[in-house]
Amino acid sequence: MDMPFVLQAAALFLIGAFTGVINVLAGGGSLLTLPMLIFLGLPAGVANGTNRVGILCQSITAIGGFRRKKMLPTGLALLCTLPALAGSYLGARWAVDIDDRLFEQMLAAIMIGILVFMLVDPAKKMRDKPLHITRLRGAFIVVSFFFIGIYGGFVQAGVGFLIITGLLAHGLDLVRINAIKVFVVLVFTVLALAVFVVHDQVNWPLGLSLGAGNALGGWLGTRLAISKGHDWTKKVVSITVFLFALKLLLG
């Protein structure tokens, strides 16, 4: 789109701030930022790479807030991150050919599943108990986060919902789940972004404009998550999941 750079930068900053909050509290912000980058004239591949700049900036500010408030279970975060890191490298390099409409329907189905799981909340009784990582639970986390990493490395959009799915069953509250989610995304975004940079798939002026907004949104989203707690965050996640699932289903 033929628009002065100042206006492009301003638009990306604003949408970045909004989606930064959404990404930290729930996920799915890339479902808004990717179309915006393409609308501004970037090829899909460059838009995908440029979007990672914003995600990286947002994750850096958000993880700082969670760590200062001691909301990040470091051991579990590392257990989730290492397989996700390996998967993200493969995802960023593989050219996965999937029909766009099929992808949207699959993601919508996953999001509806998350919504049902949160409303039923079968792990509620586990939430106040210390999390014990058994061998079986550890194996489940490693395998599931390897595939989450592949998906996140390839497309990013909606990966937050998959991470929430991978952790809800273990009885964690949504504030700590979001802290782990931000940590995982931060680490594998560094690797995925490096792959896009090597292949010259990043527009830095637009990426940094988006990143400035994402960083602000990430900071604000962290403060909201910590101050409001699990129940409030659960409502935000439920509403966000429902709206994005509806958007994907209706096209």
Check the CA dihedral 31-110-77-172 and report its sign.
Answer: positive
The angle at the Cα of 243, spanning 231 to 40, to the nearest 5 degrees, equals 120
- Tens digits of residue pLDDT in 67-121: 888 888 888 888 888 898 888 878 777 644 556 666 666 667 766 776 776 676 5
What pLDDT is recorded for position 249? 73
Q: What are phi and psi of 177, to 5 degrees?
A: -60, -45
- Tens digits of residue pLDDT in 129-176: 555 667 877 888 889 889 888 887 776 666 777 888 778 766 677 888
Q: Of the segments 7-16, 31-40, 240-249, which one has the largest average pLDDT value? A: 7-16
- Tens digits of residue pLDDT in 23-35: 888 777 887 888 8
HEC profile of the chain: CCCCHHHHHHHHHHHHHHHHHHHHHCCCCHHHHHHHHHHCCCCHHHHHHHHHHHHHHHHHHHHHHHHHCCCCCHHHHHHHHHHHHHHHHHHHHCCCCCCHHHHHHHHHHHHHHHHHHHHHCCCHHHCCCCCCCCHHHHHHHHHHHHHHHHHHHHCCCCHHHHHHHHHHCCCCCHHHHHHHHHHHHHHHHHHHHHHHHHCCCCCHHHHHHHHHHHHHHHHHHHHHHHHHHHHHHHHHHHHHHHHHHHHHHHC
- Looking at residue 44, its amino acid is A
Percent of the chain with pLDDT over 90: 18
- Tens digits of residue pLDDT in 169-210: 666 778 888 898 889 888 888 888 888 898 898 999 999 999
231 compared with 40, residue with greater pLDDT: 40
